[in-house]
Amino acid sequence: MSSKSERRRLAAPLIAVIALAYWLFVRPWHLRWGATDEEVAGTLPGDDLFQNSNSEVTHAVTIDAPVEAVWPWLVQIGQGRGGFYSYDVLENLVGADIHNADRIVPEYQDLEPGDTLRLAPKDYPIQTPESAPQAVVVDPGRAVVLQPPGASPRWTWAFVLHPMNDGTTRFVVRMCTQGKRTLRGKAADFLFWEPAHFVMERKMLLGVKNRAESSEYGGKKRESSGASDGYL
């Protein structure tokens, strides 16, 4: 047996073990990073808009600032607006032309249902409905839900703020998607899109958190009634 064949024979079980460990431990962790059991199981705005979902990702973070300090950062998201507060260097490597704002921009504070919040510029070489989702839910101070236009949208993306008793805010983000049906498509979701989404969305949550906590109201918790809100 050649050394090349021997390496392949030894690599196969190692790859299988790594894949199994990722499926059993890493993937369940990153699909619900930061979220409590109650948040994962609970209903969020936009859940009723997408009945064909077979994949759900819920992420969350606690922001040491009241909702009114967080909402202005959330409502201005979008390409050509405030950005997505994630790794704009990576986004711009694929031509997304994202520029993350480090200030609240007054002209981006008005958002209405039906408005488009682009993920890529209008002249992006590959244009799909997914690159120009609409705000299908805008609940000021509470939630923004995005969904691609058209008769058969493939996902919803909900951004929800929950005020806590101690003056902090739980920022919960959920994406519901219709996963790929082919084996190749499922492999692409599993090996690339899911991990990439986690990396970028985690950075987004932390980007909103850092900006809100650095703002005028950041870090100034309201007086708590003394009752625990149950979150860490």
Report the CATH number that the domain containing residue 147 is assigned in CATH.
3.30.530.20
- The parent domain of residue 13 ranges over 1-31
179 alpha-carbon distance from chain centroid? 16
Q: Do residue 12 and residue 110 come from a single domain?
A: no
> pLDDT tens digit string along 94-104?
999 999 999 99
Q: Do residue 127 and residue 47 come from a single domain?
A: yes
The H-assigned helical ranges of the chain are 3-21, 27-31, 37-41, 67-75, 88-93, 183-188, 194-213
pLDDT at position 232 = 34
Assign 4 a pLDDT band (cuts: 50, 70, 90): low
Name the average pLDDT for the chain: 87
pLDDT at position 223 = 38
Assign 150 a pLDDT band (cuts: 50, 70, 90): confident
Q: Do residue 136 and residue 93 come from a single domain?
A: yes
Mean pLDDT (whole number) for 149-178: 94
- Alpha carbon separation from 118 to 8, 27, 80, 110, 195 (Å, rounded): 45, 28, 8, 15, 22
| 137 vs 109: CA distance, rounded Å | 15
Instruction: With CA atoms as reference, report the closest residue to 146 among 89, 70, 210, 79.
Output: 79
Instruction: Indicate the range of 113-122, 159-168, 188-197 predicted with least confidence.
Output: 188-197
Asked if residue 49 belongs to a domain, the reply is yes
> pLDDT tens digit string along 59-97?
999 999 999 999 999 999 999 999 999 999 999 999 999
Q: Do residue 110 and residue 206 come from a single domain?
A: yes
pLDDT at 225 over 50: no
Q: Do residue 3 and residue 48 come from a single domain?
A: no
Q: Do residue 17 and residue 100 come from a single domain?
A: no
> pLDDT tens digit string along 11-38?
777 777 887 888 889 999 999 999 999 9
Contacts of 68 (CB under 8 A, 6+ apart): 141, 217
Biggest alpha carbon–alpha carbon distance for the chain: 73
Asked if residue 228 belongs to a domain, the reply is no
Q: Do residue 40 and residue 146 come from a single domain?
A: yes
Going by the DSSP 8-state scheme, the letter that residue 103 receives in this structure is: S
Q: Do residue 186 and residue 119 come from a single domain?
A: yes
pLDDT at position 54 = 78
pLDDT at position 180 = 65
Asked if residue 232 belongs to a domain, the reply is no
pLDDT at 138 over 70: yes
Q: Return the percentage of the chain with pLDDT > 90, whole number.
A: 66
Domains in the chain, number: 2
Sheet holding 169-177, edge to edge: 55-63, 169-177, 155-163, 143-147, 134-139
Q: Do residue 20 and residue 55 come from a single domain?
A: no
The pair of structure tokens assigned to 37 is 């059991």
